[in-house]
Amino acid sequence: MKIYFAGSIRGGREDAALYQEIIDYLKNFGEVLTEHIGDPKLSHLGNDGESDAFIHNRDMEWLISSDIIVAEVTTVSMGVGYEIGRAVEMGKNVLCLFRPAKNKNLSAMIAGCPGVSLVEYAKPGDAKKAISAFLKGH
């Protein structure tokens, strides 16, 4: 199974360690195409490609080739929203994970999208349970 993990880069890197924990868990189920999202050395500018066009095209190839998408959506990110929208448009199975907290608001475009499975969670263990349940259903 090819898994596309989406998490904030330019929107903020405060959850990079959490992303890495989720990515490590996802590896139990298949190949994670976007392992670099959890890399603590990846800057908020996403300096992992020679240009924005390169990053877009590479990531779109990964998105197209993926079987499922798992997105951590607590930190607002236009890029993650774009990826989710494109994945839904392609008919991909999409799981969005959100940690409710003060000053954290989930976009209605994600929360209200019928093509997205949305799970609110408090701890990484809860996210892992949600991932397991989602993958069993797909």
List, in sequence order, every residue forming a beta bridge with 118; answer none if it has no partner: 96
Q: Of all helices (H) and strands (E), which one includes residue 112?
A: none
Those residues whose C-beta lies under 8 Å from the C-beta of residue 71, and which sit 6 or more positions away, are 5, 6, 7, 80, 83, 84, 94, 95, 96, 97
Kindly tell me the sign of the dihedral angle through the C-alpha atoms of 87, 90, 95, 101.
Answer: positive
**CA 95 – CA 132 distance, rounded (Å):** 11
Cβ atoms of 69 and 7 within 8 Å: the answer is no
Task: Give the annotated binding-site residues.
Answer: 19, 83, 107-109
Task: Give the annotated binding-site residues for substrate.
Answer: 19, 83, 107-109
